[in-house]
A and B are shown apart, each in its own frame.
Chain A
Amino acid sequence: MSKKTPTTFWEKLGNIDYRWLYALSLVFTIIPILQPLGLPVQVSEPTIGYYNAIDKLKPGSVVAISFGSSLALLDEQEAQYLATWKILFQRHMKVIFYCTYADSALILQKHLGTMVKPSDYGYKYGEDYVWLGYAPLGEAGEASFAQNIRGVYPKDQFGTPLDQIPMMKDINDQSKIDLLIFCYTSCTDVEWPVRQWVVPYKKPTIVATLGCCGPMAAPYYPTQIQGFLSGSGMGTEIEVYSRNPGPGALMSDAKNLGILPFLLFFVLGNVSYLGKRFKWGQPKEVK
């Protein structure tokens, strides 16, 4: 790197090799994994809105889940998903899962197959829930789904035509769907359900996304979306609020220490700047 070599103490403080920051962060993140701290969390308004949007539906209402989740990002969202599936099944909603991202089917298979089995809640496939498989919908595909489900998913995940699935007999567009839960990983995708479901059909919609996408979802809450979950933090909140414990707790704990080395370097960077700016420790210039 063609950088000027730091000479003064303050310059050195502002030019510490980044690898020290990396190493310290790694060590500090591991500590709470080995020894959890068990601190409580505060539940935020959008999480309560998210929960209430499901809670106020009558049992038997139809909930569509646009599942655009990525395996690589699952640590950030798994707590949200597991809690959501449990809430839906506990309240006996009829659920339509449709996967819009390549890895989503694998995640859903793992969730429904081993972690939150619908059969444990008395659910029967085809009558209480369906899984429409994967199609890379994009925004245009989401619009098509709202108009004609069979146009984008002629068969379910297992190759059965939708007409042969009892639950789907009368359902072919948004009109029979009571709530959309839009799960996504690309922040601006929040605009898709807003444009294709909320604006044209005024469909109640809640979204589940990554922590970084919270700021992009916030402007739509509560006028266009009734609630949102962003990141594992809100995943932990929904676990706590719905009393469905899950993987969110460990995540929240390890964040506590993992962030400290960064905070230390933030302080060092500013002390370095101020030291250079005000020439601390150097003899004052005589005018």
Chain B
Amino acid sequence: MVLFIDLLGGLVGTFFIISVLSMLWKDNPIFRIGQQAIIGATMAHYILLNFKSALNNAVLPMLGGNLLLFVPLLLGVLMYTRLKDNVAWIARYPTGVLVGVGTGVMIAGTLRGQIIDQIKNTVLDLTKSVISSNSTGMINNLLIAIGVVTAISFFTFTHEHKGVLGASAKIGRIFLMISLGANWSGEIVWYLTQLIGRLSWIINTVIKVMLLGG
């Protein structure tokens, strides 16, 4: 027995799925109604979640005695000075705190995670395959090392891509293109899965179960 509320949910969901898919055909009122509705819905969701987070993690602990938490709350409120031209400059202080923390997190994480470890893996993987006399692994890891060096050389901006640098950049570009293709391929199949998921929900849940009672 399908509850009315479930059926209603199914129909609402189906409307929104069709609304979004219809944008591929051309601009139309169904698409626009769905699009405008979702702006309001996500805005409310965003406000609810963040205010709840601020309430639980700052306001209530502050009322419980952790007065230091007043500082981030105040900084958050100061952001709203942007709305008034003559005091908009105040917003740069909380912005500065955010950017400062972000920059610190970024520098600390980038040095090892994105640079040194990437180089380490390139060296160690090749070394291990050489030591274990794994010829396939050796060729593969050598190719990776060549890819790394030449791809970095592609991103040289202080010299024109001519001569040795030009040749290296050209090879690097081929590695980069393969990588771009591989990233595309990962996404297209994922998106196809999303399409399958929604279509199968409409067919197997809304139509077969809710409407036909199957």
Contacts and interface: CB of A to CB of B under 8 A. Distances in A.
- Is there a direct interface between A and B, measured as CB atoms under 8 Å apart in the complex? yes
Interface of A: 19, 22, 25-26, 29-30, 33-34, 73-76, 102, 134-136, 139-140, 143, 154-155, 191, 194-196, 199, 210-215, 219, 223-224, 230-233, 250-251, 254-255, 258-259, 262
Nearest to A30: B199
Contact of B193 (A191, A199, A231): A231
Most central of B113, B117, B118, B193 by chain A CB within 10 Å: B193
Contact of B200 (A199, A223, A254): A254
Contacts of A251: 193, 196-197
A102 B49 CA distance: 7
A74 B186 CA distance: 16
Nearest to B112: A199
A214 B186 CA distance: 7
A102 B42 CA distance: 11
B105 A19 contact: no
A140 B199 contact: no
Interface in B70-112: 101, 105, 109, 112
Nearest to A135: B53
Contacts, number: 110
15 contacts: A73-B194, A75-B197, A76-B190, A134-B53, A139-B105, A139-B109, A154-B57, A199-B112, A211-B189, A211-B190, A215-B183, A219-B121, A231-B186, A251-B197, A254-B199
Contacts of A139: 105, 109
B186 A135 contact: no
Contacts of A231: 186, 189-190, 193
Given A33-B204, A199-B112, A250 B49 contact: no
B43 interface: no
Given A140-B105, A258-B196, A22 B57 contact: no
A135 B57 CA distance: 9
Given A34-B203, A215-B183, A255-B196, A233 B101 contact: no
A10 to B, nearest CB: 24
A140 B101 contact: yes
A191 B193 CA distance: 25
Most central of B25, B46, B197 by chain A CB within 10 Å: B197
Contacts of B186: 210-215, 230-231
Given A215-B179, A215-B182, A223 B124 contact: yes
A223 B125 contact: yes
B140 interface: no
Contacts of A33: 196, 199-200, 203-204
B207 to A, nearest CB: 11
A22 B187 CA distance: 17
Nearest to A22: B24
Interface string B35-72: 00000000001100110010011000100000000000
B32 interface: no
A199 B113 contact: yes
B211 interface: no
A136 B49 CA distance: 9
A220 to B, nearest CB: 8
Contacts of B199: 26, 29-30, 33, 254
Interface string B175-210: 000010011001111101111111110011000000
A33 B205 CA distance: 12
A211 B193 contact: yes
Nearest to A235: B193
A219 to B, nearest CB: 7
Given A22-B24, A223-B124, A210 B113 contact: no
Given A75-B198, A76-B193, A255-B189, A191 B114 contact: yes
